[in-house]
Amino acid sequence: MSRSTLVMLLAGGRGSRLDILAAHRAKPAVPFGGLYRIIDFALSNVMNSGLRMVGVLTQYRPASLMKHLGAGEPWDLDGHAARLKVLPPYQGRGDFDWYSGTADAVYQNLYILRRYKPDYVLILSGDHIYNMDYRLMIEEHKRRGAHLTIAAMEVPWEETNRFGIILTDPDGRITGFQEKPAEAKSNLASMGIYVFNAQVLLDSLEANHRNGGNDFGAHVIPALLAEGQKLFIHRFKGYWKDVGTIDSYWQANMDLLEGSAELNPSLWKARTNLGYEDIHAMPPAYIAPGAKVVRSLLSPGCRVFGTVEHSVLSPGVTVGEKAVIQDSIVMHKSRIDAGASVLRAVVDKHVWIGANARVGTMEPVPVPNKENPANLSTGITVIGKGAQIGAGVILGGNVIVHPDVKVPSSAAPVPDGATLKN
């Protein structure tokens, strides 16, 4: 199967709903769960499914993502029997070089299909957290004689407007498709995981390109249905999270701390690139005498002298004496000085929070972020990469501090819902 199936992994998204976390990196490169990047889960699924030919389609600010991917060694995707190939948009032909949609991204790389001549193409998104054996989906696709199989699972009805919604007959054949509907007829959602017969995909992308279609959900799938092609679902049951919003990203990290098999990267045999940023060389996490760590995840290189409760710390984080981290995510090599508190917050890499500063709150926050109310309204405070919060500074809830912003110790308290920029 490994040679007959080509994987196309879509990893070029800007991630605008993740706001400043994706301001300087592609969304799949955003750190997750301490050691990992979001893309690691799709790549690990590929590896654990025995698939060995992978094209990663990049676009928006790909530098850190490409460094993380390397030649694919951490996922056994290097060498003669396997290959990971990074596929940026073609350059030199004007603005339309940029991928204009999910289908257009694959269309611009059809030469890969023609070169490797696979029987099947597995299309994945690089910004979901889940564990799946793709072999089961591919075998089901072959057994049914399908032209396209879509992985699907039920989602809460109130979230159906975020997804492509699928209608099926009792045998699982797809009879209708609604792309992010205002009024859904079902709560069975596409997971953005597709198995195509290679020739069907090639013909469909060329036809849609001629007609101006550039997206799988909006154009390709409806066109295939209209043609009477055989489309089926592959039902998925298990943990799956689209971490495309601040709230869902924060919640997925908090889910890690519950200790269940539903979300367990170690049990899933997830891998990451520990050589990038020299994580492999960092010492084990250190918890000082008198420090307190409760229901938390500490990565290598962390040094804790204060209190960490129900939080996720990436490699190299330092927590000073009497500092408190609660219900928060703190990324690589950030420093929380003595007496500071970080409450219900997401703190990006290389952030400094000065002594006795207070970032975020555990209290209800009635005021959403004023600049971005749709994406930040549940009380989480977000600190961008490289920001500096001076000693004694107070930041409310639903606050955004942009990357590299320096908030001096003399600054007045920052109210709920504010945004700080350079």
- Beta-bridged to residue 319, according to DSSP, are 304, 336
Q: How far apart are CA 208 and CA 212, in angstroms?
A: 6
Do 62 and 211 lie in one domain? The reply is: yes
Q: Region 245-254: what's the mean pLDDT?
A: 95
Show which of 237, 256, 275 is a domain's final residue: 256
Do 231 and 365 lie in one domain? The reply is: no
120 lies in a domain?
A: yes
Q: DSSP class of residue 19?
A: G
Q: How far apart are CA 369 and CA 375, in angstroms?
A: 8
Band (pLDDT 50/70/90 cuts) for residue 3 is low
Residue 293: which of 308, 314, 304, 303 has the closest Cα? Answer: 308
Do 175 and 237 lie in one domain? The reply is: yes
Q: Region 201-224: what's the mean pLDDT?
A: 93
Residue 320 corresponds to which tokens in the numbers above? 């000073």
Do 369 and 235 lie in one domain? The reply is: no
264 lies in a domain?
A: no
- Which helix (H) or strand (E) segment holds residue 32: the answer is strand 31-32
272 lies in a domain?
A: no
Other C-beta atoms closer than 10 Å to the C-beta of 106 total 26
Q: DSSP class of residue 154?
A: E
Do 291 and 402 lie in one domain? The reply is: yes
Give me the CATH number covering residue 382.
Answer: 2.160.10.10
Q: DSSP class of residue 352?
A: E
347 lies in a domain?
A: yes
- Beta-bridged to residue 314, according to DSSP, are none
Q: What is the pLDDT of residues 280-334, one digit of tens each?
A: 999 999 999 999 999 999 999 999 999 999 999 999 999 999 999 999 999 999 9
276 lies in a domain?
A: no
The yes-or-no verdict on residue 112 having pLDDT over 60 is yes
What type of residue is 281?
A
Give me the CATH number covering residue 149.
Answer: 3.90.550.10
Q: What is the pLDDT of residues 93-108, one digit of tens each?
A: 444 456 778 999 899 8
Q: How far apart are CA 289 and CA 351, in angstroms?
A: 25
Contact 299, 313 (CB under 8 A): yes
- Which helix (H) or strand (E) segment holds residue 103: the answer is helix 102-107
Do 251 and 297 lie in one domain? The reply is: no
Domain assignment of residue 401, given as a range: 284-420
Q: What is the pLDDT of residue 397?
A: 98
Do 233 and 99 lie in one domain? The reply is: yes
Q: How far apart are CA 271 and CA 285, in angstroms?
A: 19
Q: What is the pLDDT of residue 95?
A: 41
413 lies in a domain?
A: yes
Do 220 and 125 lie in one domain? The reply is: yes
9 lies in a domain?
A: yes
Q: What is the pLDDT of residue 322?
A: 98
The yes-or-no verdict on residue 65 having pLDDT over 70 is yes
Residue 80: which of 55, 121, 54, 52 has the closest Cα? Answer: 52
Indicate the number of domains in the chain: 2
Do 68 and 208 lie in one domain? The reply is: yes
Residue 72 corresponds to which tokens in the numbers above? 């694919």
Q: What is the pLDDT of residue 25?
A: 85
In which residue are the tokens 């760590």 written? 293
Q: How far apart are CA 154 and CA 99, in angstroms?
A: 29
370 lies in a domain?
A: yes
| Percentage of residues of the chain with pLDDT beyond 70 | 95
Do 323 and 248 lie in one domain? The reply is: no
Do 210 and 296 lie in one domain? The reply is: no
Do 117 and 192 lie in one domain? The reply is: yes
